[in-house]
Chains A and B, each alone.
Chain A
Amino acid sequence: MENQYAIEMLHITKKFPGIIANDDITIQLKKGEIHALLGENGAGKSTLMSVLFGLYQAEEGVIKKDGKEVHIKNPNDANALGIGMVHQHFKLVECFTVLDNIIMGVEPNKFGFLQKKEAREKVLELSEKYGLHIDPDAYIEDITVGMQQRTEILKMLYRENEILIFDEPTAVLTPQEIDELMHIMKNLAAEGKSILFISHKLNEIKAVADRCSVLRKGKYIGTVDTKDATIEELSAMMVGHNVNLHVKKEECTPGEVVLDIENMTVASKMHKNNAVKNVSLKVHRGEVVCIAGIDGNGQTEFVYGLSGLEPLVSGKITLCGEDITKAPIRKRLLSGMSHIPEDRHKHGLVLDYPLDYNCVLQNYFKPEFTNKFGFLRKKNIREYAEKLIEQYDVRSGQGPITIARSMSGGNQQKAIVAREIDKNPELLIAVQPTRGLDVGAIEYIHKQIVAQRDAGKAVLLVSLELEEVMDVSDRILVMYEGEIVGELNPKTATEDELGLYMAGAKRDEVKA
């Protein structure tokens, strides 16, 4: 009987100090199927893939390809077995063309001279076969994120990989691009490629995957046929209890203005134009205002300008009646601004500091944590961190002394959220607070945001996730090319309508 599995990972166990990242996990990928791998952050998905790629060696378990046991010691072995991966963050050379990127590392050559012509033909052929519609001569920096992703896919196809791994491929895409990707994935599977699809987005898994394996806290929970499972069942498998996918919240009762932005303009670092153009808005007590938009439309620069990371070209910011347009960052933080940054590794944490040091990043100078001679009160810092860990359920290997770098992404984010909310701010700026997080953590963070609103705080949420935008916010402002192009009420607006504004197809004159 012919073996029906392209790749099997049987009883894989991988331990790290203080944690069992993979505990007896079995995943069997059938030929020509799309197999989803679902799990919370820290559930062990990345570790499992690293084992498959030879980056880690499992203590127990075997990997079989086409029924034969194989030993994968390093990524080269994985490549030789036809295993390819599209990473969440693309590995492309920006100033090279699509074709150059595809052939990179396996350049066809004669006596050291490149033979691009045949490569080009092969790429075009593949592109057509799988409906990728790609221009091989375009430069990476000029094409959309979706196109870049297809370049990555072509890279795998060009190398004749049979097993394709997609690591959270939709995180960076617009809704339309996601649809196209789903279509491409189905084409690939129909042509006999086996796909392992890592995601937390249940509706995507439901839409595209044939089967779904679920991991939870390093353990294998089970594999189901997606057509037989509901989204609710899947999420319950993932988090271990039933989750409320929709945020429950009371009617909002806006109070006085907390944040007032007038005609804010911020320069761009990428190009000569301004990234944020003449934006005015107000955020009141007790409401969640959401800035929606497709990535790269000036949201990042808007937050930089607001939080003081970048200076304004013009405009005025008033926080609680105080002009903070030119105030230094610390002044803003002390006047009641909390900021959950978009990039938790770049801004949110000092990764080489232990968790307790990270918990006091903005408070370390206060008398609780530093005595009058300038010495740190390490005991108080430790105790404060323990309090936050307990209260906000931040999980880590060694508690407050865990180095932040070794924590899972979700717990890193929880630590930041805990720190920012515990400051008891007047204004909470949350930028993509749930990016890359699993359903359980998302639910938790949404609850915290709504709780802040209910406690009479002003919340400014910047998000790329349509669902999040619709669920959490009380008022939606759409940002397109650095301008606010529409204000919507999440109760009456539809996702389609929002999409039109986000894509720049529709705009209103908005008065703040």
Chain B
Amino acid sequence: MIKKILKNDAFQSLFASLICIVLGIAIGYIVLLFINPEGAGEAILEVLKNFMHYSKTNLQIKNFGNTLVKTAPLLMCSLSILFAYKVGLFNIGAAGQYCVGICVSLYCALALGMGWVPCMIFAAIAGALYGAIVGLLKSYCNVNEVISGIMLNWIALYSTNMILMNVKDSTSPYTYHLNIDSQNAILPTLGLHNLFEGNERVTIAIPLSILFAILVSVVLDKTKFGYELKATGFNKNAAKYCGMAEKRNIIVSLMISGAIAALGACFLYLTDYEQWSCTSAAVPATGFNGIAAAFLGGLNPIGAIFSSYFIQHITVGGSYVDKTMYCAQISDLISAIIIYLCGFVFFIKYAMNQLIDKSEEKKALKAKAIAEANTQEGGDK
């Protein structure tokens, strides 16, 4: 019975993810001990506590809402990466596609005065087209998607900086707030904010992102399209042999992946939670953290919901670490260590299977030895 549970794939994924998390926290703690042993215990607790840092319930709930707001784009990025991964592609360009999403949604909102629906539609289209570049290069010129993705990330970053220069004050690097004269571009809350002590940032983005996770799961598992995509991912040659348009599939899946990442950007920037800094020197980390979230979630869209939340939880939690004891970067360092170890899910699953097999063999050998001993005894008598 226990053996059956241990061998169950879903259980293994969950268990491996949990081990990764515990390992990450342990190593983070050790690093903190090295830097300043006095505050280490408290600091790691702060990371895990996140919004529980506050003693008042209303502040806790409000800040819980903030973590959720930032989880939505991360979940979208992890879905983007996961979707491409099922087709055998490593879409590291999700970060750039996310950036393009920011650029187009903010420009549409601030410069063109559009409402949130057209903003999202244009951002998704732009993300899809940006993803298509990677797909076209991959399928027609055999350019590795990781290389072209990374290059395009930089192009996206600087283009975004340049274009969004037009929608900011000359005195500040940040783009305008949406709530001043682009209010109709802000995502509606549909009353959700009331659940979070009036946190206006809590919008339909959060349920929408979960809806997307379910949608991705359904498309991959239940549809003809998903069947084709996965077949292409598992065995490109077989897909070609049975007449699937494997080049088209690569392009389409990267387009969808790009659109999901770009929508993720809308889910954060159209809440007015954050503004874009036109002096940014790197694409937002959300796109890359999406990789960790996808793997920590066992490459399962539903798993990604929980892993994205967890990663966002510790990332936000890191900001509560006592800055008088540790330098400001420590929060990033600790969450980075944990996220890094999250990538080990598949390694741990492999190790688990090895352990199970070995213990079974040992048991079998023991049983054999006992059986032999018994027969010998029987013979003696």
Identify the A interface with B (CB < 8 A).
57, 59-60, 307, 309, 328-333, 339, 341, 346-353, 357, 361-362, 364-365, 369-370, 374-376, 378
Contact = CB atoms under 8 A, between A and B. Distances in A.
A347 B224 contact: no
Contact of A361 (B224, B225, B238, B368): B238
Interface string B256-282: 000000000000000000000000000
Nearest to B218: A375
B243 A351 contact: no
Q: Which 4 residue pairs spanning A and B have beta carbons closest together?
A: A330-B243, A347-B241, A329-B243, A361-B242
B58 interface: no
Given A330-B243, A374-B225, A375-B224, A348 B368 contact: no
A376 B223 contact: yes
Given A341-B241, A351-B235, A364 B227 contact: yes
A339 B234 contact: no
A362 B243 contact: yes
Interface in B213-236: 222-225, 227-228, 230-231, 234-235
Interface in B152-188: none
Contact size range, B? 20 to 34
Contacts of B368: 59-60
A350 B235 contact: yes
B222 A339 contact: no
Contact of B234 (A347, A353, A364): A353
Interface in B347-379: 361, 364, 368
A347 B234 CA distance: 11
B323 interface: no
Contacts of B222: 375-376, 378
26 contacts: A59-B361, A59-B368, A60-B364, A309-B241, A328-B245, A329-B241, A329-B243, A330-B244, A331-B243, A333-B242, A339-B241, A341-B241, A346-B238, A347-B241, A348-B238, A348-B241, A352-B234, A353-B231, A357-B231, A361-B242, A362-B242, A364-B228, A365-B224, A375-B222, A375-B223, A375-B224
Contacts of B223: 374-376
B239 to A, nearest CB: 8
Contact of A376 (B227, B237, B239): B227
A370 B230 CA distance: 16
Contacts of A357: 227, 231
B240 A309 contact: yes
A317 to B, nearest CB: 16
Contacts of B241: 307, 309, 329, 339, 341, 347-348
Given A361-B231, A375-B222, A347 B243 contact: no
A247 B231 CA distance: 37
Nearest to B239: A350
A378 B239 CA distance: 19
A370 B224 contact: yes
A331 B244 CA distance: 11
Contacts of A369: 224
Nearest to B222: A375
B361 A347 contact: no
Contacts of B244: 330
Given A309-B240, A329-B240, A350 B224 contact: no
Contacts of B245: 328, 330
A365 B239 CA distance: 13
Nearest to A347: B241
B263 to A, nearest CB: 21
Given A333-B243, A347-B241, A362-B243, A374 B224 contact: yes
Contacts of A330: 242-245
Contacts of A60: 364, 368
A375 B227 CA distance: 10
A349 to B, nearest CB: 6
Most buried by A among B222, B234, B243, B364: B243
Contact of B224 (A348, A351, A353, A364): A364
A417 to B, nearest CB: 15
A341 B242 CA distance: 11
A57 B225 contact: no
A346 B227 contact: no
Contacts of B227: 357, 364, 376
A370 B225 CA distance: 10
Contacts of B224: 364-365, 369-370, 374-376
Nearest to B231: A350
Contacts of B228: 364
A203 B364 CA distance: 40
A60 B363 CA distance: 12
A349 B238 contact: yes
Given A332-B243, A347-B240, A376-B227, 13 more contacts: A59-B361, A329-B241, A329-B243, A331-B243, A341-B241, A348-B241, A352-B234, A364-B227, A364-B228, A374-B223, A374-B225, A375-B224, A378-B222
Contacts of A374: 223-225
A378 B221 CA distance: 10
A376 B225 CA distance: 9
Contacts of B225: 374
A346 B231 contact: no
Nearest to A371: B224
A151 to B, nearest CB: 29
A361 B230 CA distance: 12
A332 B235 CA distance: 20
A362 B244 CA distance: 8
B39 to A, nearest CB: 47
A347 B238 contact: yes
B12 to A, nearest CB: 15
Contacts of A370: 224
Contacts of A375: 222-224
A282 to B, nearest CB: 25
B237 A347 contact: yes
Contacts of B240: 309, 329, 347
A128 to B, nearest CB: 44
Nearest to A328: B243
A329 B234 CA distance: 19
Contacts of A309: 240-241
Most buried by B among A350, A351, A365, A370: A350
A391 B361 CA distance: 38
Nearest to A370: B224
Nearest to B224: A370
B89 to A, nearest CB: 16
A329 B243 CA distance: 5
Contacts of B243: 328-333, 362
Contacts of A57: 361
A294 to B, nearest CB: 24
Among B231, B235, B242, B368, the most chain A Cβ lie within 10 Å of the Cβ of B242
B142 to A, nearest CB: 14
Contacts of A329: 240-243
B234 A351 contact: yes
Nearest to A71: B365
Contacts of A364: 224, 227-228
Interface in B323-365: 361, 364
Contacts of B234: 350-353
A330 B364 CA distance: 51
